[in-house]
Amino acid sequence: MSVAAIPGQDPGAKPGQEALRPPEAANLWSSIQAFLRWLDQNGYESYDPYDIWGTRYGLFSRRIYYGHRLLGSPLIAPILLMEVLCPSLRRWLVGKGRFATADAQLLLGFLNLYEAKGGSIFLEKARALSRDLLQISVPGYSGFCWGYPFDWQHNRGLWKKNLPFITATPYCFEAFLRLFDLTADPAFLTIARSIAQFVHKDLRDTPTSPNAAAASYSPVDSSQVVNASAYRAMVLFEAADRFQIEDYRQTASRNLNFILQNQNQDGSWLYAVDHASERFIDHFHTCFVLKNLAKINRRLKSAEITGAVARGYKYYRSALYDSSGMPKQFAIRPRTQIVRFELYDFAEAISLGCWLWPEIPEALDVARRLAGTVRDRFQTASGHFLTRVYKGGLKHRFPYLRWPQAQLFYALTSLTLLNAKTDFPHNSR
């Protein structure tokens, strides 16, 4: 039986709790079922928005562009145009791959459904994905870790494929911990402990004040990317409590202080503080920071973090949504901006709402409203979601699991689990 065929039941609901379910809950489940049917048909291998940039021509054109923008602009233009007008052309240029970020978030989504609706098939799917994750982990480091299966040329240099990243590995850490919590299988806890060892030992710290340090993005850089420190701090605080390792807590505290000390007076965070071209504020990276701070504070219960999240969320709502209440990509619009709606932003906004409730009830209201918008406006007849919508209405329909299919599935299933586990009146969206 396919995962999409599981009945839409909630065996853990309390008597009378079903009456609190909004009409939208059934529609949300229908949306998830449609996606699962598509996933059953297409599998876990996927193209990616960055795969074409990892080809020989893509690497060359970006290297020239980052060194000489005027000279490089005509070279990157064909790839940019292909992505807008016919992204499916990449089928003739690159192959599909497996992406740890996608596999881990799909796994977490299946576990959400297992908790919310029962059905051993969801747990079986999650277990299968955990085995796949171990197969694509990167060898040669202090513990299990994951990166991307393509070379990545960026403004700091070239990162070769399968270089592990702090933005990919934490989702795998959460996936194995969640599997342990739901199954009590000690093998999953052992893997999570190994992941934490990589996060602690193989990533670099760059001191930024007497009690703060920025975490690197990978084992080979010394960047000061704010969301990278947020991911690392989240993993190490969780691992410190799980495994009683004080060194993890001390390192996490310095990374946390870096985040708190680099929050701007208006509540925002720059993407990075050490590189002029990365001093921007965008939607989903802001969500990453807020989401990880919320996770950390489930452990620490710190008034300082609570205040930082409240200020950050106030800025986020005022600067990263348009007048119609839809997510905006950037707080300050770039000079060339052709995207109207980026569905990755919707995914992270929905997930953020699930994490910030009940401290910020408004965040959950926003999440529920956006989930309905995604279902009604941005899900295709085949079941997957749009990648983005450009200004003028052109829709990018070619699906990438890492961007944002897995994220939307995880977000919608998180909302489903919250509906199933929480006694609270639901407003209509």
pLDDT at 422 over 80: no
**CATH 1.50.10.10 is held by the domain 3-49+98-421:** yes
pLDDT-derived band at 275, boundaries 50, 70, 90: confident
How many angstroms separate the CA atoms of 258 and 273, rounded? 10
Over residues 383-399, the mean pLDDT reads 97
Over residues 82-102, the mean pLDDT reads 97
Percent of the chain surpassing pLDDT 90: 87
Over residues 38-53, the mean pLDDT reads 97
Domain boundaries, the chain: 3-49+98-421, 52-94
| Residues 177/188, Cβ–Cβ less than 8 Å | yes
pLDDT at 57 over 60: yes
Average pLDDT score, the chain: 92
pLDDT at 428 over 50: no
| pLDDT (0 to 100) of residue 16 | 30
| Residues 155/66, Cβ–Cβ less than 8 Å | yes
| pLDDT (0 to 100) of residue 335 | 63
CA 348 to chain centre: 6
How many angstroms separate the CA atoms of 314 and 310, rounded? 6
pLDDT in tens, 121-178: 999 999 999 999 999 999 999 999 999 999 999 888 899 999 999 999 999 999 999 9
| pLDDT (0 to 100) of residue 119 | 85
pLDDT at 332 over 70: yes
Name, in order, each residue with C-beta under 8 angstroms of 130's C-beta and a sequence gap of 6 or more: 107, 175, 176, 179, 188
Least confident window among 22-26, 200-204, 351-355, 406-410: 22-26
Give me the phi and psi of 395, to 5 degrees please.
-105, 130
Residue 246 burial (C-beta neighbours within 10 Å; 0-12, 13-18, 19+): exposed
Over residues 25-52, the mean pLDDT reads 96
How many angstroms separate the CA atoms of 170 and 182, rounded? 18
pLDDT in tens, 283-320: 999 999 999 999 999 999 999 999 999 999 999 999 99
Q: Left if phi > 0, otherwise alpha if psi is -120 to 50, otherwise beta: which for 267?
A: left
How many angstroms separate the CA atoms of 119 and 99, rounded? 26
pLDDT at 19 over 60: no
| pLDDT (0 to 100) of residue 4 | 47
In 154-225, which residue ranges form alpha helices assigned H by DSSP? 169-183, 186-201
Supply the pTM of this predicted model: 0.93
Answer with the residue of higher pLDDT: 204 or 2.
204
Residue 289: both structure tokens together: 């920071």
Give me the phi and psi of 20, to 5 degrees please.
-85, -10
